[in-house]
């Protein structure tokens, strides 16, 4: 899977808040080399390195991520917002 990415590439991930699991959003992340393992790639997101794995929802474009988000969670647009 890591062969599909190059260091410096910007990708988009659907990221769940680790403190509030019912909150998810699309975040931009950078593909980087892991400092301690220069031949290994990771995503750099929120000042943390995340190993690239099949468990991550990684998308090449924001539009792809938005479509996957809408398929999984419904529209991000809230038309009936009260408050």
> What percent of the chain is predicted at pLDDT more than 90?
57
Q: What's residue 1's pLDDT?
A: 53
Please write the tens of the pLDDT for every residue from 28-65.
Answer: 999 999 999 989 999 999 899 999 988 889 999 999 99
> What percent of the chain is predicted at pLDDT more than 70?
86
Judged by DSSP in three states, 37 sits in strand
Whether the model pTM is above 0.75: yes
Domain boundaries, the chain: 2-71
CA distance 49 to 14: 15
**67 in Cβ contact with 15 (< 8 Å):** no
Torsion over CA of 49, 42, 65 and 62, rounded to 10 degrees?
90
CA distance 37 to 61: 27
DSSP state of 63: H
Q: What's residue 77's pLDDT?
A: 55
């Amino acid at each position: 899977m890591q062969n599909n990415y190059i260091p410096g590439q910007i990708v988009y991930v659907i990221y769940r808040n680790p403190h509030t699991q019912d909150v998810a959003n699309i975040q931009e992340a950078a593909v980087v080399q892991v400092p301690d393992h220069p031949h290994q790639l990771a995503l750099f997101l929120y000042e943390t390195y995340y190993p690239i794995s099949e468990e991550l929802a990684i998308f090449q474009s924001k539009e792809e991520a938005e479509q996957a988000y809408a398929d999984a969670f419904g529209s991000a647009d809230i038309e009936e917002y009260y408050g």
